[in-house]
Chain A
Amino acid sequence: MAVAASNSRTSYILDKLQSLSGIVPIGAFLAEHIWSNSYALVSPAKYNDVSSELQQVPWRIFVETAVLWLPLLFHSLYGFYIWWKGKSNITAHPWMSNWMYTLQRWTGLIAFVFIAWHLYTQRYEGHGVTSYADVQQFLTNPWNLTFYIIGLLAASFHLGNGVWNFACKWGIAVSVRSQRAFGLLGAAVGVSFALAGIAIVIGLHYGAFPLGGYVTGGGQ
């Protein structure tokens, strides 16, 4: 009690950082990640070019730690603490925004478990040098593919709803109309990230290149 003096700003700052880190860098990285992995739908050669370029980022381990691992760890662990402090009452009051509140917590947990496994298999076991062939081999397994789809759905929902939440929590969307507009924007983000992500993993599973046609000019 002595630590939590009533004029302490620590919880305010931590909560604000938790909210911010979900958009930048984590949300921004998810956008980049889905973008660069979309080259899997173009051709293996292009995919390998893009991934080897990313794998040769200077100061790689420091950049990964500062931009990805620490923000992810903070966002997740502090998020679990926020979850623990709230007591969901969805069964008594099943309103849509109350569902979003509850789903935001569960999708966060699913995304956390998925990302931990994804990092272990792709970054740690793959030593951060995976190629198209490695990833395709991995996604041939239907269980791996299923977990990818679940993880992508959870992460996309969490980010989409997070965009709306961020707009409200940072006082960007104040009026009911603007909150509704940001809700639609969040839904668009969530649906498009989920669709793009699922298209990528299914493309890898079947070794298909639906976006390769106009690059090579003939679709061979």
Chain B
Amino acid sequence: MADKTFIVKIKRQQRPDEAVRWEEFELRWRPHMNVIICLRDIAERPFTREGKESSAVSYEANCLEEVCGACAMVINGKPRQACTALVDDLEKPIRLEPLTKFPLIRDLQVDRSKMFDDLKRTKCWIPIDGTYDIGPGPRMAPEKQEEAYPLSRCITCGNCLEICPKVNADDQFVGAAIVSQVRLFNMHPTGAMHSAARLDALMGPGGIEDCDNAQNCVKICPKGIPLTESLASVNGQVLRHAIKSFFTAPKTIGSAAPEG
């Protein structure tokens, strides 16, 4: 009996300036396959459906368990992680395309540095290490930890940027992932010491104000992060910070009260 097979169609480009070509590969079906296995099968035997010799498809992947974010691509028209896209659940032929909102490197591989640069620009970290021991931070109530946990699941995959009408060449909106990280780090008692700097960064061009509430981000997020709540929350924080910093002047020293 002949093996069961299925078709994978891949949008390929050697270089960003090269013309797009679609290649079709016929792969042998095995149980529990995901899209990453398909790409490995192609690398093992890089021949198209017509028998023409091709090359291994370029893509990024690390953890293979949806925590690193690297294997984000457009699968059957929806941005998602290739590692959790199971062949049995996907409509055939399976269409694979690179994310469109990031600079293309090759085939399915894109340069997602914009997000990491924006995380740095918005100071999305908690300052704990210095040249000396700054001592233990304040304790965090368990309820606060539970509120923060869903936000900490962000894997910076970029699917929420891919799906957002306001992230494109004409609008440098930072995207829901970064705004949600600002909320997470402002929520933390030590992180809150930098909240004003984070909110300032989101007040500039490409900041929170570019969100126009299409609310696609929350529907596509593979980690189920309440992104629309984060956007509204940070919108309020930035607004209160803007009003406060316009009207008031400091009156105490040493207060690390969180903004907003």
Pairing of A with B:
yes
Chain A contacts to B: CB under 8 angstroms: 4-9, 11-12, 15-16, 82, 84-89, 92-93, 95, 97-98, 100-101, 164-165, 168-176, 179
- Residue contact B236 to A171, C-beta cutoff 8 Å: yes
Min CB distance A210 to B, Å, is 38
Task: Tell me if B93 counts as interface (CB < 8 A to partner A).
Answer: no
B205 x A165 contact (CB < 8 A):
no
With A4-B205, A98-B214, A176-B229 given, name 4 new contacts (CB 8 A): A85-B170, A86-B165, A97-B216, A169-B213
Option from B207, B212, B239 in Cβ contact (under 8 Å) with A82:
B212
- How many A-B residue pairs lie within 8 Å, measured between CB atoms? 106
Distance of A164 from chain B, by nearest CB (Å): 8
Interface mask (B165-196 → A, CB under 8 Å = 1, otherwise 0): 11010110000000000000000000000000
- In the bound complex, residues from chain A placing their C-beta under 8 Å from that of B240 are 171
Q: Could you tell me if A171 and B239 are in contact, using CB atoms closer than 8 angstroms? A: yes
A179 touching B170, Cβ below 8 Å: no
- With contacts A9-B204, A93-B216, A97-B216 taken as known, whether A88 is within 8 angstroms of B165 at the C-beta atoms is yes
Nearest CB in chain A: distance from B179 CB, A: 12
CB proximity of A109 to chain B, nearest CB, Å: 15
Q: A16-B239, A93-B216, A98-B216 are in contact. Are A6 and B166 (CB under 8 A)?
A: no
The CA of A9 and the CA of B203, in the complex, are separated in Å by 6
B216→A174 contact, CB < 8 A: no
B203-228 contacts to A, CB under 8 A, are: 203-205, 207, 209-216, 219, 226, 228
20 contacts between A and B (CB under 8 A): A4-B205, A5-B204, A9-B204, A9-B242, A12-B203, A84-B170, A85-B168, A85-B171, A86-B168, A89-B165, A93-B216, A95-B216, A97-B214, A168-B231, A168-B235, A171-B236, A171-B238, A171-B239, A171-B240, A173-B232
**Chain A's nearest CB lies how many Å from the CB of B91?**
15
Task: Say whether A179 contacts B205, CB under 8 Å.
Answer: no
